[in-house]
Amino acid sequence: MASGSRRHYPRCTELVVVACTLSCAGPAEIPPTPDLSPLESEYDTPSARLQDSPRVQSVLDSAPDVEQLAASFRSAGALLDDVDTASETADRRTGDGIRLRGALQLGVRCPGHDEDPVYDAAVNGSVSFTLAVSDNAIRRSFSGSAAQCKLRAFVRGTPLRVVLDGDVAFDLGSDLRLGTRWDRTRVLVSVQGRVEVEGFAFSGVSARFTSERFEYLYSVNDGTVILLFTQRGVGLQDAEGTWYCQFGSDACSLD
């Protein structure tokens, strides 16, 4: 060896790291999830102030049929029932001392408009969701894509034809631990695509609902209001409070 030259040997730790990089499995990627918190804030604090009953009635007259919207969005919400199936499926891969992460791709076939459901994606469309799994839990929000998904909704026993198409996003309210069932307390839906109800199309709409209350974000001249459908009937929430209108009457009162 020539004077002044040095022969370098790789350190043991470097060899181990390189060997491990070549042979060890890396962690699964957690897909990005949509952030629906700004939309949630709009539902929590509508900005418009309607101030009087005639104005409230005017807004309700110009708004879409909230009852139909409620039925339509709830039929779309039924697609989320399979989140429980995904949770149970992934739960079988975990156990004591195990942390699971990654992505779950759900493909849900839509039932169609007929009384007897036909779960054929070529006939009645489908919806695909990407659920993010982190630390043994499905993250609360996720996005999906509907391909001419045909659904059947009901308003006072009357069936409605609903078609969902394009990008959608959901927020379940809280992360879902694997192996547990979604409590269905509330869900926030954002449809960047299109939802058709008996041929009437709505684009870029959203809704938030529980089993007893349906909320629809509606823009008016000076801000936003929330159209409500509850057991009390149709109502409206603005920055001042919640208005309910008597059926068959122009009188609306502030709660």
Cβ atoms within 10 Å of 103's Cβ, excluding its own = 14
For other proteins, which residue of 34, 102, 159, 166 counts as binding (CB under 8 A)? Answer: 102
Give the binding range for other proteins (CB under 8 A) out of 79-87, 149-157, 184-192, 203-211.
Answer: 79-87
Decide: is 24 part of the binding site for other proteins (CB under 8 A).
yes
Residue 37 or 105: which CB sits closer to other proteins?
Answer: 105
Alpha-carbon distances of 216 from 41, 127, 129, 227, rounded to whole Å? 13, 22, 23, 5
Question: Apex CA 60: angle with CA 173 and CA 222, to 5°?
Answer: 75
Q: Tell me whether residue 96 or residue 115 sits nearer to other proteins (CB atom).
A: 96
Return d(Cα 235, Cα 226) in angstroms, integer.
8
Scanning residues 219 to 238, which ones bind other proteins (CB under 8 A)? Answer: none
Among 34, 55, 67, 103, binds other proteins (CB under 8 A): 103
Q: How many residues sit close enough to other proteins to count as binding (CB under 8 A)? A: 37
Residue from 32, 51, 99, 222 touching other proteins (CB under 8 A): that is 99
Among 7, 11, 38, 96, binds other proteins (CB under 8 A): 96
Instruction: Kindly list the distances between the CA atom of residue 118 and the CA atoms of 35, 61, 178, 217, 228, in Å, as whole numbers in the listed order.
Output: 34, 37, 29, 32, 32
Task: Name the one residue in this structure whose structure tokens are 């076939």.
Answer: 109
The residue from 36, 56, 104, 169 that contacts other proteins (CB under 8 A) is 104
- Eight-state DSSP code of residue 79: G
Q: Is the dihedral of CA 253, 215, 176, 39 positive or negative?
A: negative
Q: Pick between residue 28 and residue 201 the one whose CB is nearest to other proteins.
A: 28
Provide the β-strand partners of residue 202.
Answer: 195
First to last CA, the chain: 93
Q: Which stretch binds other proteins (CB under 8 A): 94-102, 163-171, 206-214, 240-248?
A: 94-102
Interacting residue ranges for other proteins, rule: CB under 8 A: 16, 19-20, 23-29, 82, 85-86, 89-90, 92-109, 119, 133, 135-136
